[in-house]
Structure formats: structure tokens, C-alpha cells
């Protein structure tokens, strides 16, 4: 595992109902990451959860208020550049950051310099 590079992993926790200028916050965050050329971002939807308010977030026929986790992996420099922007976009929620080692695999033809 010598070829693994140090990097940062960000996990943002909030709910599906959170919005940013009218569209879902998770979509807005992913778009922002793309705009800022962050290496990648993935959105996961949880089955059930609760946070600060102790209100249980669960799935229902009519309302969608499930927990959302966005995971972002990039170099420390890029993550630090992104952080203040995320802090401003999120009204409430949680940001967790951890140190990780990463390996990017790209074997298909269209090799670009990353």
C-alpha cells in the first residue's frame, strides 16, 4: 500500500428536505464541487436516523425527510478551499473530516492528467 496518497475525506450530514436556493441541498453541493473541480462527491440516502432535534427522520409516502450523507474525497488543499463554501451553504447539519489514504484507479483509455 505504498502508492497510497494522503488525502481528506469529508462527510456532510443533513436531511433530504434541506434546500439551497430552491433546489435540494445535496444537488447544490455536488454542483458546487464540480464547479470547484473537486475530485469527486457521492450522495447517500439513509434509511432512518435522528440528529440534533431528536426528531426521527423516516420514510413516508408523502414526505421525504430521510438522512443524507455526502462524501467528498480530495487533497487537503482542495478540501480546505471547499470547507468555508460548504459551511455557508449548510444552514444546519454536521461536517466530519478525517485523514485517509487514497488510490485513484484509472485504467480506461481516456487518460487525462489529474
Site of interaction with another protein (CB under 8 A): 1, 4, 7, 9, 26-27, 30, 33-34, 39-45, 50, 53-56, 58, 60-63, 65, 71, 73, 98-108
Nearer to another protein, 84 or 106 (CB): 106
Where does residue 9 rank: exposed (0-12), middle (13-18), buried (19+ CB within 10 A)? middle
Separation CA 81–CA 33 (nearest Å) = 11
Least distance from another protein to the Cβ atom of residue 45, Å: 5
Rounded to a whole number of angstroms, the minimum distance from the CB of residue 73 to another protein is 6
Chain centre distance of CA 23: 16
Q: How does DSSP classify residue 31?
A: H
CB of 86 to another protein, least distance (A): 16
Pick from 114, 96, 94: which is nearest to 104 by CA?
A: 114
Amino acid at each position: 500500500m505504498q502508492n497510497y496518497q494522503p488525502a481528506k475525506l469529508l462527510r456532510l450530514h443533513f436531511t433530504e428536505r434541506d434546500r439551497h436556493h430552491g433546489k435540494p441541498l445535496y444537488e447544490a453541493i455536488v454542483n458546487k464541487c464540480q464547479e470547484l473541480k473537486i475530485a469527486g462527491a457521492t450522495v447517500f440516502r439513509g434509511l432512518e436516523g435522528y440528529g440534533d432535534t431528536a426528531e426521527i427522520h423516516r420514510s413516508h409516502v408523502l414526505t421525504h425527510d430521510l438522512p443524507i450523507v455526502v462524501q467528498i474525497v480530495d487533497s487537503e488543499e482542495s478540501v480546505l478551499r471547499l470547507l468555508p463554501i460548504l459551511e455557508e451553504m449548510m444552514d444546519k447539519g454536521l461536517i466530519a473530516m478525517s485523514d485517509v489514504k487514497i488510490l485513484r484507479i484509472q485504467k480506461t483509455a481516456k487518460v487525462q492528467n489529474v
